[in-house]
Amino acid sequence: MDRFEPQHGVFLVEGRPCLSWKFTTKLHEPTLDGLLGEYTLYVDQKTERPVRFHYVGRNGMLGGSHIDEYSLEYVYVREGPVDEDVFASLPASMNCTEMPGDDESPARNPKQDISMLMPEGTATKKEVFENYSAMHSKTYNDPAEAVQRLATFHHNLRFINAENRKGLPYHLRVNHFADLTHEERQKLHRPSRVKRAKNNGALSMHKILSLEDPEDIDWREKGAVTSVKDQGTCGSCWTFGTTGALEGALFAQQKKLFNMSQQNLLDCSWDFGNHACDGGLDYQAYEWIMANGGLETTATYGSYRNAPDYCHFNASNAIGRMNGFVNVTSVEALNDALATVGPLSVSIDAALPSFYFYGGGFYDNVECKSDLDSLDHSVLAVGVTTHNGQKYTLIKNSWSRHWGEDGYIKITQKDDLCGVAAAATYPVLAD
Q: Known catalytic residue: 259?
A: no
Quick one: which of 306, 262, 270 has its CA closest to 291? 270
Q: How far from the centroid of its chain's Cα atoms is residue 373's Cα? A: 19
Q: Which residues contact 123 (CB under 8 A, 6 or more apart)?
A: none
What is the C-alpha separation between 265 and 24, in angstroms, rounded?
A: 59
Give the span between the Cα atoms of 247 and 249, in whole angstroms.
5
Gyration radius from the chain CA atoms: 26
What whole-number distance in Å separates Cα of residue 261 and Cα of residue 279?
17
Write down how long the chain is: 431
Beta bridge partners of 409: 395
Sequential DSSP letters for 37-61: EEEEEEEETTT--EEEEEEEEE-GG
Catalytic residue among 59, 156, 175, 237: 237
Provide the Cα torsion 127, 129, 131, 134; round to 10°: -130
Examine the residue annotation and report whether 397 is marked as an active-site residue of this protein: yes
Catalytic member of 59, 206, 377, 418: 377
Rounded CA-CA distance 239/289 in Å is: 12
List, in order, residues 6 or more apart from 218 with CB less than 8 Å away: 382, 383, 385, 394
Mind telling me the catalytic residues?
237, 377, 397
